[in-house]
Amino acid sequence: MAEMKLGILDFGGIKPRTVNSHNVINSVLGDIQTYEELGFHRYWLAEHYSYEYAWFSPEMLLPLLAGYSSKINIGWAGVLLHIHSPLNIANNMRILSALYDGRIDVGLARAQASEEYLKMLRVEKTKWIPRLREFIELCNGTWTDDETNELLFVPPHATPSPRMWYLANSNKTIQLAVQHKMNYAISLMHPGSNYSNNLDTLKQYKEAYFKEHNELPTTSLLVCVANATDRRKIDVFNSRFKTPGLKNLFGSANYIADRLHEMKETFSNDEFVLFMPICQRELRLQNYRQIIQSV
């Protein structure tokens, strides 16, 4: 079988409550070299505002992870642009990309924090598309003020921009992502995702991208996986993640590997980013090791 590039998406989950935030953060920093040695291509940290996770924003962890590793791409996926200053985030990500030789990924997601957290963050809802355009330009090092037509430069200069990904589960923003030459990651695990629709979306994106740039983008599928051979454990995972239309893979490592290869044949994607809903550190490491050795 052809080589398959795998990445990891980590939410920093702390359920069951016996798994505390301090241990989760330490395991994130302690395990990055193991993931790199196993051959994982990317390691992304999610941004969520809930008591169920060890962090809200992972921004403070990114330079530590990049410093503890040497090859694996480190990413924030996805940045909730609604609640951040585009200029601050763009500047910080450009600094990281300059320090770590272009190994920094930035995934952009349309998701929002809950109303309760929006109040605590002292932010108001903003229009997504204008904010996204602004951030992309800033992340690439320049921005033009619409009112004054003044060109703003974002340091550091003459350095590689972070690798930008659009995190999607529909085809609503294909043209915007194509225009800005973004890589494209489609989630097969979030509510609202539909397997057959996502297949069409990825095909449309690649065709539009090639027509515009005469080259193909890097594409990835986000998939929820859990390595389990016990029927009862598989049933538990299926009961927790039973949203119609989602493509979750629960079973043995060989079963997961076979399904990933089938999906790659179907979607012709370049990579997979795996999310594993297991909080226990040793079990999660064992699962990822068995999966990557099976593909």
Alpha carbon 272 to its chain centroid, in Å, reads 10
Which of the four pLDDT bands, split at 50, 70 and 90, describes residue 2? low
Looking at the DSSP assignment, which residues form a beta bridge with residue 223? 274
**Is-above-0.85 flag for pTM?**
yes
What does the alpha-carbon distance between residue 189 and residue 244 come to, in Å, rounded to a whole number?
10
* Domain covering 5-294, topology: TIM Barrel (3.20.20)
The candidate with the shortest Cα–Cα distance to 222, out of 249, 197, 240, 244, is: 249
CA distances, 123 to each of 138, 200, 205, 273 (Å): 20, 36, 32, 31
Predicted confidence (pLDDT) per residue in 94-132, tens digit: 999 999 988 999 999 887 777 787 778 877 777 888 889
pLDDT in tens, 222-253: 999 988 776 677 666 666 666 554 578 888 99
Neighbours of 213 (CB within 10 A): 12
The pLDDT tens digits for 187-220 are: 888 776 777 888 999 999 999 999 999 999 999 9
Does the structure show a pLDDT above 70 at 93? yes
Residues linked to residue 183 through DSSP beta bridges, in sequence order: 165
Kindly report, residue by residue over 80-92, the tens digit of the pLDDT: 988 899 999 999 9
Q: What is the percent of the chain where pLDDT is above 70? A: 91
C-alpha–C-alpha distance, residues 81 and 194, integer Å: 24
Q: What sign results for the dihedral spanned by CA atoms 243, 244, 250, 254? A: negative
